[in-house]
Structure 1
Amino acid sequence: MSAPQPVPPSWKDIGKSSNDLLSKDFHFSGTQLEVKTATPSNVTFKVAGIRDAKSALINGDIEAKYTDKAHGLTFTQSWTTSNFLRSQVELENQIAKGLKLDLSTGLHADKGQKTALVNAIYKQPGLHTRAFLDLFKGPTFTADTVLGRDGFLLGAEASYNVTEGKVTHYAAAVGFSAPEYAVAVHGLKNLSTFAASYYHKVSPDVEAGAKAVYDTSSTHKGISLEVGTKTYLDAAAFIKAKINNHGILALGYTQALRPGVKASFGLALDTQKLNEASPSGSAHKVGASFVFEA
């Protein structure tokens, strides 16, 4: 008898290991501060702010989240400095095992813009499917499904505009995931853009990955390629590096100063303009992030 199949990742998480390696912990767009606290009554607060290095503008948000694990209920409320108010209610494993219902609403008070998204997520061994209904945009119904067996993944996504009565978007993906490596191939934007990603846990202290993207509608008709690596210096610190085929080199260093306190620093260099002291529209960037969590 074969072993029970695990629940596969969701559609958006196919290729997640490679995407996280190449996108997270590179803080070079400004200075960011994040503070997280929790209360004994299962309420968590998060305050975050970032000063953009290019515009010098400061953007921030405050978020409160209440979790009732016994009844599978989570309520989240956030408010940003751009006067955008977001509310989210989640109910999991109450109506049926593996079923999660989610209602997300947003209000941009200054512009009078409203959003409302109804989500349903169903997970079982070998199956992960989601459905979304955007009430104010279209309305538009979006569904995606991922099937998994023995590490192999097959996924698809499609959006249907109810008012226009037509499919407005579709995509597909295949992949394979193992404990030490993962590969994925996506066909996105109505199969006009193709992406291939690879992730390898070389050793307990070293990770490597790469991603290639080919856009058939692009005027350049070339492939965008990015490769990166992550190395743990010790249990409390790691460094990351990545470079793309445009010559942009990014470096990141993260250090856990003490339990609940983490500092990250980032640097991006345009290797084709290293001899220019202050190039116009320079891609040279630096930034930092500090996280305090209680």
Structure 2
Amino acid sequence: MSIPAFADISKSANDLLNKDFYHLSAGTIEVKSNTPNNVAFKVTGKSSHEKATSGAIEGKYTDKSLGNSTTIIPPEQTVEVYTRKRRRESSPTAWLGPIKAPKWPLSFSIFLSQYSSQLLMRYRRAGLVLTQTWNTANALDTKVEITDAIAKGLKAESIFSFLPATQQKGVKLNLTFKQSAFHGRAFFDLLKGPTANVDAVIGHEGFLAGASAGYDVQKAAVTGYSAAVGYIAPQYSAAVTATDNLSVFAASYYHKVNSQVEAGAKATWNSKSGSAVGLEVASKYRLDPVSFAKAKINDRGVAAISYNVLLRPGVTLGLGASFDTQKLEQATHKVGVSFTFES
């Protein structure tokens, strides 16, 4: 089982408690489409219960000439270079077939100098993804991702943001290094501070231990630190996290009872605010292969339910509602609907 990132140690429980509850927005619509030239578009629009609307459009380009993601192509395969070399005979070109090339970027120019012809390259270990986003706040974000190009298991992201109205700019660099028993990440904000946030998780036979810390270069001070331990098995998982400088403690549990039923719970205690412990439990029941229902309730008596159904291939409907069981006579309840279209 792969080692999760620090933020995902309790992912199974957090997803069960937080995902697919549609009451948080009055209405949500999401449209996803893919083009033949490897560009994926996603348009999202939301209407809040306060009648505010927001939206974003995202375009993601995957350069398949540089390679596919490692989840599709085994990372141990080497670079293949297909070349056609000009012959002296009357025949203009002839395919020589695949040739094992040095791994990028080592001796790449030397390798190319041996062939004075057109090249068709497919990188099986490296991948390039370009994502551009524009939202209703008039913020432009561009993200460039490169996977396995520098070293096996290393992913690098560069994120450039720009607000035309205020001329505000941002540049971030994120690094992720993942091996069989280790998962480390580093996040750098190069213009603000600069600041750095790093986290790491080690694991063995399902047992996990991780820590994170933030550092402000200009102030030369640690801005925060957290720690977590957990255990992950195919059917269940448990985790204990200590965040906000080890002042907020959370214990979570997730159990996949069978193919239809999932259950989870989370308890949270903030040592700075008192001795009260917050508790939240949730469950998910798959009604049939195309629909499921979820329900949760917390210690304050706020309950939420949701229903998700695949109406037809590419069209998903989500319905959700929340109720304050201690104030049923008051207008504190929320209802939301979500539509997702995908092609």
TM-score range, shorter chain: over 0.9
| Residue of 287, 293, 297 corresponding to 1:233 | 287
RMSD: 1.0
| Residue of 274, 289, 292 corresponding to 2:338 | 289
1:265 aligns with 2:319: yes
Counterpart-to-counterpart distance in 2, 1:249 and 1:7: 34
Counterpart-to-counterpart distance in 1, 2:193 and 2:272: 25
Amino acid at match of 2:193: G
Corresponding residue number in structure 2 for 1:8: 3
Counterpart-to-counterpart distance in 1, 2:332 and 2:8: 29
Q: How does 1:10-29 map to 2 (within 5 A)?
A: 10-28=5-23, 29=25
1:150 aligns with 2:146: no
The DSSP-based 3-state class of the residue aligned with 1:203 is: coil
Equivalences, count: 282
Q: How does 1:178-257 map to 2 (within 5 A)?
A: 178-218=233-273, 220-257=274-311
1:152-210 deviation per Cα after TM superposition (whole angstroms, max 9, x unaligned): 00010001110111111100000000000000000000001001100000111000000
Max radius of gyration: which structure?
A: 2
Corresponding residue number in structure 2 for 1:43: 39
| Residue of 64, 78, 84 corresponding to 2:59 | 64
Amino acid at match of 1:169: G
Q: How does 1:86-97 map to 2 (within 5 A)?
A: 86-97=141-152
Amino acid at match of 1:226: E
Structure 2: gaps of 5 or more residues: 68-125
Amino acid at match of 1:163: Q
1:113 aligns with 2:168: yes
1:177 aligns with 2:223: no
The DSSP-based 3-state class of the residue aligned with 2:193 is: coil
Counterpart-to-counterpart distance in 2, 1:35 and 1:240: 23
Higher strand share: 1
Deviation at 1:135, TM superposition (A): 1.2
The DSSP-based 3-state class of the residue aligned with 2:13 is: helix
Structure 1: gaps of 5 or more residues: 1-5
Counterpart-to-counterpart distance in 1, 2:215 and 2:239: 25
Counterpart-to-counterpart distance in 1, 2:278 and 2:192: 32
The DSSP-based 3-state class of the residue aligned with 1:160 is: strand
1:233-258 deviation per Cα after TM superposition (whole angstroms, max 9, x unaligned): 00000000000001100000000001
Greater alpha carbon shift after TM alignment, 104-113 vs 35-44: 104-113
Corresponding residue number in structure 1 for 2:27: 31
Corresponding residue number in structure 2 for 1:3: none
Q: Which runs of 4+ in 1 moved over 6 A?
A: none
Deviation at 1:41, TM superposition (A): 1.1
1:127 aligns with 2:127: no
| Residue of 68, 72, 80 corresponding to 2:135 | 80
Counterpart-to-counterpart distance in 2, 1:126 and 1:160: 25
Q: How does 1:151-170 map to 2 (within 5 A)?
A: 151-170=206-225
Deviation at 1:42, TM superposition (A): 0.8
Amino acid at match of 2:230: G
Counterpart-to-counterpart distance in 1, 2:192 and 2:251: 30
The DSSP-based 3-state class of the residue aligned with 1:273 is: coil
Counterpart-to-counterpart distance in 2, 1:105 and 1:215: 35
Q: Between the two proteins, what is the percent identity of the paired residues? A: 50
Counterpart-to-counterpart distance in 1, 2:128 and 2:258: 39
| Residue of 153, 166, 182 corresponding to 1:98 | 153
Deviation at 1:230, TM superposition (A): 0.1
